[in-house]
Amino acid sequence: MNTDGRPRSILDLAAMKAAGRRIAMLTCYDAAFARLLEAADIDVLLVGDSLHQVLGGHETTLGATLDEMIYHAAAVHRGAPRTLLFVDLPFLTYQVSVEDAIRNAGRVMQESGAHGVKLEGGQPMAGTVRALVDRGIPVMGHLGLTPQSVHALGGYRVQGRESERARELEAHARALEDAGACAIVLELLPAALAGRISESLTIPTIGIGAGPGCDGQVLVLHDMLGLNEMFSPKFLKRFAQLGESVREAAREFSAEVRGGKYPGVEHSFE
């Protein structure tokens, strides 16, 4: 939320970049966490298709469905109605045709209350981005490690280390900006390359594993909170250790139930 009390909009993203103010973005999948994150003044919430991994326990994001994204996005919007909200378009809901992309992005906006959608890819998706923007649907791009293309990329690896690939990614970023994207997520890029891309664009970049030169940063909420303890890439900083806190609370609950200590008189009705 802005200091004047009004909700943030996509116009604030460009203004934040122009003012040199870093953008803080976190993934979120439910209303309870959304309320907490809005109270913490997080700039942008992203309902990522990572929910298929984080909540569903799957290895990739590829099986996420449009209905799942809409359900979770609507919950997040109810929990944080004044926070800027973007939603990932899942695999094959926008790549097959521009018409599909318009229809599916429209459903997301109409049924969830989101302020925009995020999609993966560069120049090949520029026409789709332009079509969505022309129809009033804000679009955030995504370059570098694009999880929906994980098999084509040969796994979760840093992208753009080779000079030719780096030049391609810079061209992709310009194409997305020219097509009307309001921001671009840069994932798993060398810090110098991400910095160059960020400096070359008028729209903000939001990095994850792309170094400090981006205009903002995003992490998966459960990773940042220490709830996903099996995931520990180099770029991740855990700002809490809630995994151990949850285990300890569950142990204490179990012990009190088995020992007859809970519930007590103070937890019971006359």
- By annotation, the residues acting in catalysis are 187
Q: What share of the chain is helix, strand, coil (3-state, %, to 5)?
A: 45, 15, 45
CB 140 within 8 A of CB 118: yes
End-to-end Cα spacing for the chain = 44
Q: For the chain, where are the alpha helices, taking DSSP H only? A: 10-19, 31-39, 51-54, 66-79, 98-112, 126-134, 163-179, 191-200, 221-224, 242-258
Beta-carbon contacts of 259 under 8 Å, excluding residues fewer than 6 positions away, are: none
Closest-CA residue to 76 (of 113, 127, 24): 113
Task: Give me the residues paired with residue 87 across strands.
Answer: 47, 117
What's the DSSP call for residue 140? E
CA dihedral of 60, 89, 240, 58, whole degrees rounded to 10: -20
